Amino acid sequence: MENISSLIKRFESRQAIIGIVGLGYVGLPLMLRFSSVGFRVLGIDIDPGKVERLNAGKSYIKHIPAGKVAEARQSGFEATSDFSRAAEADGLIICVPTPLNKNREPDLSYVIGTVDSLAPHLRPGQVLSLESTTYPGTTEEELLPRIQVRGLKVGEDLFLVYSPEREDPGSKNFNPSNIPKVIGGQTAACLQAGTALYASAIERLVPVSSTRAAEMTKLLENIFRSVNIALVNELKILCLRMGIDIHEVIRAAATKPFGYMPFYPGPGLGGHCIPIDPFYLTFKAREYDISTRFIELAGEVNSSMPYFVVQRVMEALNQHGKALKGAKILLLGVAYKKNVDDDRESPSYKLMELLIQRGADVSYSDPHIPSLRPGRKYNFGLLSMPLDEVSLSQADCVLIATDHDAYDYGFILEHSRLIVDTRNVFSGPAACGGKVYQA
């Protein structure tokens, strides 16, 4: 097969052009990785602001230095909003969002819109890889027909694979090069070509039998986390009622060298994966007359956590003779995890909504997120407050939602009147002068 043999040679010699479609938290690090190992990379994004910044050698993601983008530009990277240029690429990798709609059902509009924009420009001798998290069958049911209608035969002319992203924003230990990469092909030839695409940039590839198996693998990873986080969230509520420190219990259980993996409670789930991905499978399961009760129960528990936290804020204020209505609440941390500027699906937004609905005067401070951008669900229009003696002492309650390392917790404890801690920053709250309530 001339198409696949010449294509594989182009990948192996790094003469191939790599096209990354969607230059966000997944696509941008992937672009940098391919560029760093000698490939010319073409980035495609519908946001002209992103394109302009990247072509100027700038970054819009805090944990990705502008210097890395500038190095990629010098090595031939270029960003564009022109989908017709997809024809230049030998390997096209789709990294676009797959959110839920208001009914918590999969929204594949970004994936389908991207494929429809690429389809007129696809040509023989290309690999097309979808990395966006989705339900099993998406590659086969949504992408394959849109390619075939162009007259391209998948497995001979064009090679279709699914290889789910595994990204840990802000991690010092893991990056696109050393995270093992699962990959499934629509045919055996597709898998062979897709493996050649990624092999030069990723240290370890994990081939599976089909795109459906690869799609299910990604969902299992995140459902596993969702279910276990729900378990410890539920146990946290029980332990608080029983006067037991759940974090002490987790630390003790983690000393068992087999059969246990520690998970930690929090104010709810955030990020682009765990709050969303499990519901892609519950949606698809209905097609097979299966009710995924375990997944849905975990979702209910995790979704209820912001309500529990607000209840704890009300109880803490009440202990200090203050009602929630009219109280000044300073929320620390809008990012969904510590030390990043990623606020996607952050439980902090739900906390803000619930507190405002109950009449609280809410402000926030986050060194990584200076302002709250309008989103699909929320538009608070707030700017980050300076975390100083005045802002702390004026707050009726300081609510710790994200435990950034940049916060001076000794200073916070000294100058706050009341703290509700969802991240176990202050272990042993009895030693904190009665200021700290766990939640």
| Residue 187 to residue 169: CA distance in whole angstroms | 32
C-beta atoms surrounding 12 within 10 Å: 12
Tokens of 360: 């609280």
Q: Is the pLDDT of residue 220 over 70?
A: yes
Q: Is the pLDDT of residue 430 over 60?
A: no
pLDDT confidence band for 103 (50 / 70 / 90): confident
Q: Is the pLDDT of residue 378 over 90?
A: no
pTM of the model: 0.91
CATH topology agreement for domains 2-209 and 233-438? yes
Angle at the Cα of 184 (from 182 to 185), degrees rounded to 5?
A: 150
Question: Residue 2: what pLDDT?
Answer: 59
Question: Residue 278: what pLDDT?
Answer: 87
Angle at the Cα of 195 (from 50 to 139), degrees rounded to 5?
A: 65
| Residue 316 to residue 323: CA distance in whole angstroms | 9
CATH number for domain 2-209, candidates 3.40.50.1950, 3.40.309.10, 3.30.420.10, 3.40.50.720: 3.40.50.720
Question: Residue 420: what pLDDT?
Answer: 97
β 361-365/397-400 pair status: unpaired
The catalytic residue positions are: 273
β 40-44/126-130 pair status: unpaired
Query: Which tens digit of pLDDT belongs to each residue from 42-55?
Result: 999 999 999 999 99
Phi, psi of 419 (to 5 degrees): -130, 130
Q: Is the pLDDT of residue 201 over 60?
A: yes
Q: How many Å separate Cα 382 from the centre of its chain?
A: 23
Question: Residue 274: what pLDDT?
Answer: 79
Going from N- to C-terminal start, the domains of the chain cover: 2-209, 233-438
Q: Which of the 8 DSSP states describes residue 140?
A: I
| Residue 25 to residue 133: CA distance in whole angstroms | 13
- Please state which of the ranges 117-121, 417-421, 425-429 shows the lowest mean pLDDT: 425-429
| Domain 233-438: assigned CATH number | 3.40.50.720
Rounded mean pLDDT of 133-155?
A: 96
Portion of the chain with pLDDT greater than 90, in percent:
87
Question: Residue 276: what pLDDT?
Answer: 85
C-beta atoms surrounding 149 within 10 Å: 9
In the chain, the amino acid numbered 2 is E
